[in-house]
Amino acid sequence: AQKITQTQPGMFVQEKEAVTLDCTYDTSDQSYGLFWYKQPSSGEMIFLIYQGSYDEQNATEGRYSLNFQKARKSANLVISASQLGDSAMYFCAMREVNGGGADGLTFGKGTHLIIQP
């Protein structure tokens, strides 16, 4: 079973609109972390936002916020007032603290977001 599911392979959004990118996750750990990364066409992976499983408030970083619904195992990324420069691949990722093994992140398959003028 996939640990991270991103159901939207691609999205087209008008500039200045808000965008929600979906992410659901699967873990039996109590302690875990959720991340979002942006990958523009240049290929670099840019860290956007982090949410810990014990954090009670939704994380926010500028125009990015994470809509964390723990009971639903959902960690959607919300981008307010989208800009042309937001066009990129977006990856949701998880670190399971108690799962043993890698301290790395498990990534979803990504969502290709295109902002239209």
Please tell me whether residue 108 binds other proteins under the rule CB under 8 A. Answer: yes
Q: Give the Cα separation of 117 and 47 in Å (integer).
A: 25
Write the single-letter amino acid at 57.
Q
Stretch that binds other proteins, among 12-20, 28-36, 67-75, 76-84 (CB under 8 A): 28-36
Smallest distance from the beta carbon of 70 to other proteins, in angstroms? 15
Q: Give the Cα separation of 86 and 90 in Å (integer).
A: 10
Stretch that binds other proteins, among 17-25, 66-74, 80-88, 108-116 (CB under 8 A): 108-116
Annotate 90-99 with b (16+ C-beta within 10 A) or e (fewer).
bbbbbbbeee
Smallest distance from the beta carbon of 16 to other proteins, in angstroms? 29
- Among 87, 91, 113, 115, which residue sits at the site for other proteins (rule: CB under 8 A)? 91
**Residue 15 DSSP class:** T
Which tokens hold the place of 16? 């200045």
Please tell me whether residue 44 binds other proteins under the rule CB under 8 A. Answer: yes
| Angle subtended at Cα 55 by Cα 53 and Cα 59, rounded to the nearest 5 degrees | 105
Residue whose CB is less far from other proteins, 25 or 35: 35
Site residues, other proteins (CB under 8 A) = 4, 6, 9, 31-33, 35, 42-45, 47, 50, 52, 91, 93, 95, 97, 101-110
